[in-house]
Structure 1
Amino acid sequence: MSLINLSSNFLWQELPYIIKVSDFIMTIILCIVGGLIIGFCQKFLGLYPKEMEEILHEYKVTKTIDYKPLPKYIICAFLPLIFGGSIGPEAGLFGMVAMLSTFLSVKIKNSNPELKEEFIEASTSAVLTAIFQVPIFSLFSYDKNSIYKVQPIFKKILNYFTYSCTVLSAYFIIKFLNNLIHKESFIFKLASNHISNKDLLLFIPILILSIIIGLSFNYMGHIIECICKKTKINLNPFMAAIIGGFILAFLGAYFPLTLFSGEHALREVINNVGELGIPYLLLIAFLKMLATKISINFRWVGGQIFPIIFTSFCIAFALSGILKVDPTYVVAITATGVITVVLRKPIIAIVLIFLFLPMTYWIFAIVSSFSINFIINKFIYKTSLNL
C-alpha cells in the first residue's frame, strides 16, 4: 500500500513538474499509457487480479486457491491502482494474502485440512482491517458440509478468539504505523446536529432512494458488462484495457475526482460541499459509479468499496442540500444503505460507516442496513430469481 502511494505520488504529482506538462495532458498520457501496459500484462501474464467474489467462488468450488501465479498477480493488481483506475486496493490485496495463506498451509508440515481455512480466514480479516482501518472480519462463508462447521464448540471458540486477536492486532498496528509517519486516516467524524421531526419523517423516502441508488450502481455494471459481451471486447483483454484507458483518460481529464478510489478525495469533497454545489455532487457521483464499472469491466480490476463510499457520501450531501436535512443523518441512511445493496453484507456496511458517525446516529445506520438487506432479499433479488 505504501508502494502504491509512492508510485502514484511520483506519476501524478512530481512527474508533471519534471517534464513541465499540465495536469490535463498528464492525465490523458498516464491513463492511455496505463491502458497499454495493463493490456500487455493481461495478454502475457494472465487475467489478474480477480475480484473478491471470484476468489470466494474459486475457494468454494475447489477448496483451495492457486498460489503459483502470485508474482504475476501482484504486478497486475498494482498497475491499475497507480495509473488512476477508479478502484480500491482490497481485491488485489485480498487475493494476494489468500494465495500466501494457502502457500503457507501447504508448506507447513503435518498440517490438517482445517488449517487452510483458518489461515485464509484470519489473514484476509487482517488485510481488510488494515485497508479500511476498521476491524473487519473475513468475507468468507463456509459450506454447510465444511469440516469447520462440525468442529467441537471449544475449537470454534478458539478460532473466533484467534480471528479477533488477528483483526485487533492489524487494527492497532496500522494505527501505530500511521501515527509514526504522521499519515492522516481517510476516516473522519461528521458533525453531530439536532435531528428534527422533519428528518425522521423523511427516513422512509431516503431509505427508498438508497435502494434505488444501490440498484442503479449494480445495473450500471450489468449494462456495461452486456455491452462488453455484445461487442466481444471481453474476449480480448488487451484491447479492453486499452479502451478502458482511453475512457478513463477522457473522464479523468475533465473530472479528476473520477480517478482513483476516492479514499483521499473524500475529506476534500466534504469540506468543500458548499463550493461544489448540489448539481456537481450528483454529477460526480454518477461519473464515479460509471468510472468504477468501466474500470472493472475493461480489465482495470480492483475493489469497489472505496468508490462506493465516495459515491454514497456525495449523493448523501446532495440529498441533504435538496431536502434541507441534517447531512450526517442522510449519510447514516444513504451510505450504509447503498453499500448494503451493492455488497449485500449489512454488517460490513455498518462497520465501514460507523466510524464516520457520532454514536447518536448509529441506530439509523443499523436500521437502514438491516431494513434494506431484508427488502432486497425478500422482494427484489428473490423476485428476479423467480422470473
Structure 2
Amino acid sequence: MGSAKVVNRLVFILSVILTGAIAGFFVWLVLFVMDVGLTLVWDGLSSWFGRFYPVLMCVVGGIVIGLFARRFGNYPEDLRTVMAKVKRDGGYDYDKLGRMSVAAVLPLVFGGSVGPEAGLTGVIAGLCTWAGQRMRRFGSDFRELTEAGVTATLSALFTAPLYGFASGMGGRTAGDSGEGSTPRWVKVVVYACAIAGALAAMLLLTHYVGGGLPLPHYEWDVVGTDELVWLVPLILIGALAGWLFCVSDALLSRVSGKFSDRPLLKPVVAGAVLGVCGVVLPFTMFSGESQAVELDSLWTGMGAALLLVMGFVKILVTAMCVNMGWRGGHFFPTIFAGISIGYGMALLSGADPVFCLCTVTAALVGGVMRKPLMAVLLLFLCFPLLAAIPMALAAFVGSRIPLPSWVSEAEGEIGKPESVDARRL
C-alpha cells in the first residue's frame, strides 16, 4: 500500500511536469501564431492602403471580433475572473476551448492594445481541469493540476517564475480547508515542477524555433543624487497613470453596458478609435512588448511631450479595448505605457533612464494591480533585481492611491460569475 502511494506520487509529479511543459508549449504556440498573423496583416498588406490602413484594418477587426462574439459568446474572460473561478471552484470550464483559443488571438492579430495572458490562462485552466478530472486515482491532488497549469502559464508567458509561483500560492482553492486538503509543501513542489516544465518548454522552443516575447531587459546603473531628487515625482506620475487606468477601466465598463443590445457595434466603434489613435500615435496599438524594444532605440529623438502623451493615451486605449469587445489582458500594454512615460521623464529630468523606467512602471503597475509585491515580481521580467527597492516603494505608493468609491465597487464585481453568451444580449 505504501509503495503504491509512492508510485502514485511519482506519476503525479511527472504529470505535473508534463502539464507545465504543455502549458509552456501552448504559450509559445499562441505567441508564434500571433506573430505570424501580425506579420501577415500588418506587414504584408499595409503598403497597399497607405497611411490610413490602421483605421481600415481595426474596423475590419472590430467586425470580425463582433461577429465571432455574437455567434460564440464573449471570450476570453479576463485574468482575474479566470483566477477567481479556479480558486473558488477548483477548476475551469473546458467544453469551449476551441472558441476560447480563437477569441484570444483575434484582438492581438488585429492590433488591439491588449495582452495575451487572459486568453492563454483560460485555455490552460480548462485543459488542466479536463486532465485532472481524468486522474482521480491521485485523490485530492488532481485538483492541483488546474492551478499548477495556470501558474505555469503565467510563469512561461512573463518569464517570471516568482510571479507565477506567488500567484499560485496566494489565496485558497476549493477544498483547501478541512480534511483531505492538500498540504502546503505539496503545493510548493507541484508549482515548482509545473513552472520548471513550462519554462523549459518555452525557452527551448524559443531558442530552436523562434517566437516568444521580445521584451527588452534593462541593466541597472549607479543611482546618484539626480535620481533621488526625482524619486517622488517619478512615483507620483506613475501612480497617476495607474489611477487613470483604474478610473477609465471602470468608466468604460459602464459605457460598454450601454451597448449591451448591440454586441457587434461595440468592437467596431472601439476598432475605429483604435485605428485613429494608431494613425496619430502608432505605438498606442498592439500589446506593447515589440513596441518597447523598438522604443528603446528611438526615445531620445522623440521628445518628452510626445513620450508622455503616448504613454497616457496607451492607458486609455487599453482600458477601451478590454471593455469594448477587444477582450484580453492589460499587463503588457500598461508596462509599455510605464516605459514610455518613464522615458519622457528621463528626458525632462536628466536622471538615469532605467531608474525612471523602473520607478514609473512599478508605480503604474502597482496602481493597476493594487498588489505591490505581485507588481514587483511581475516586473522582474524586464527590470533587474537590483532595482527591487525603488520598484517596491513605487509599487506600494501606487497601490495606496485611493480610488473613487464607484471605481472600488466596480472592482469588487470582478471575479463574480458572468454570462459569456453574447447571443442573449
Same fold (TM over 0.5): yes
State how far apart, in whole Å, the 2-side matches of 1:55 and 1:353 are.
21
Partner of 2:276: 250
Structure 1 stretches lacking a partner, 5+ long: none
**Preserved contact between residue 65 and residue 98 of structure 1 (Cα < 8 Å):** yes
Alignment of 1:313-324 (within 5 A): 313-324=339-350
More divergent stretch after superposition (260-269 vs 132-141): 132-141
How far is the alpha carbon of 1:45 from its aligned partner? 0.4
Residue 335 of structure 2 aligns to a residue whose secondary structure is helix
Matched, 1:205 2:233: yes
Which of 120, 142, 150 lines up with 2:146 in the alignment? 120
State how far apart, in whole Å, the 2-side matches of 1:144 and 1:31 are.
40
How far is the alpha carbon of 1:343 from its aligned partner? 1.4
Matched, 1:67 2:94: yes
More divergent stretch after superposition (176-185 vs 102-111): 176-185
Residue 176 of structure 2 aligns to a residue whose secondary structure is helix
Alignment of 1:66-85 (within 5 A): 66-85=93-112
Residue 289 of structure 2 aligns to a residue whose secondary structure is coil
Amino acid in structure 2 at the alignment position of 1:339: V
**Preserved contact between residue 252 and residue 259 of structure 1 (Cα < 8 Å):** yes
Amino acid in structure 2 at the alignment position of 1:33: V
How far is the alpha carbon of 1:365 from its aligned partner? 1.5
State how far apart, in whole Å, the 2-side matches of 1:143 and 1:361 are.
27
Matched, 1:99 2:126: yes
Partner of 1:4: 34
Matched, 1:228 2:256: yes
**Preserved contact between residue 114 and residue 148 of structure 1 (Cα < 8 Å):** no
Structure 2 stretches lacking a partner, 5+ long: 1-30, 410-425
Which of 202, 210, 218 lines up with 1:174 in the alignment? 202
Amino acid in structure 2 at the alignment position of 1:167: I
How far is the alpha carbon of 1:301 from its aligned partner? 0.2
**Preserved contact between residue 308 and residue 340 of structure 2 (Cα < 8 Å):** yes
More divergent stretch after superposition (218-227 vs 93-102): 218-227
Which of 86, 91, 97 lines up with 2:113 in the alignment? 86
Partner of 1:336: 362
Matched, 1:161 2:201: no
How far is the alpha carbon of 1:153 from its aligned partner? 10
Residue deviations 1:235-292, cap 9 Å, x none?
4222111211222222222322111101101011122111111111112112211211
Residue 63 of structure 2 aligns to a residue whose secondary structure is helix
Partner of 2:135: 108
TM-score normalised by structure 2 residue count: 0.81
Which of 294, 298, 305 lines up with 1:268 in the alignment? 294
**Preserved contact between residue 234 and residue 360 of structure 2 (Cα < 8 Å):** yes
**Preserved contact between residue 140 and residue 181 of structure 2 (Cα < 8 Å):** no
State how far apart, in whole Å, the 2-side matches of 1:294 and 1:241 are.
10
**Preserved contact between residue 134 and residue 351 of structure 1 (Cα < 8 Å):** yes
Partner of 1:14: 44
How far is the alpha carbon of 1:39 from its aligned partner? 0.7
Root mean square deviation, CA, Å: 2.7
Q: Count matched residues.
A: 377
Percent of aligned pairs with the same amino acid? 24
Which of 191, 208, 216 lines up with 1:188 in the alignment? 216
The verdict on how the C-alpha distance between 1:165 and 1:284 changes in structure 2, with shifts beyond 3 A counting, is same
The verdict on how the C-alpha distance between 1:140 and 1:237 changes in structure 2, with shifts beyond 3 A counting, is farther
The verdict on how the C-alpha distance between 1:62 and 1:173 changes in structure 2, with shifts beyond 3 A counting, is closer
Amino acid in structure 1 at the alignment position of 2:322: I
The verdict on how the C-alpha distance between 1:192 and 1:238 changes in structure 2, with shifts beyond 3 A counting, is same
TM-score normalised by structure 1 residue count: 0.88
State how far apart, in whole Å, the 1-side matches of 2:202 and 2:128 are.
20
State how far apart, in whole Å, the 2-side matches of 1:27 and 1:145 are.
43
Partner of 1:351: 377
Amino acid in structure 2 at the alignment position of 1:302: G
Amino acid in structure 1 at the alignment position of 2:281: F
Residue deviations 1:190-219, cap 9 Å, x none?
344332224223323332332222111111
Matched, 1:53 2:53: no
State how far apart, in whole Å, the 1-side matches of 2:134 and 2:121 are.
20
The verdict on how the C-alpha distance between 1:73 and 1:253 changes in structure 2, with shifts beyond 3 A counting, is same
The verdict on how the C-alpha distance between 1:165 and 1:14 changes in structure 2, with shifts beyond 3 A counting, is same
Partner of 2:416: none
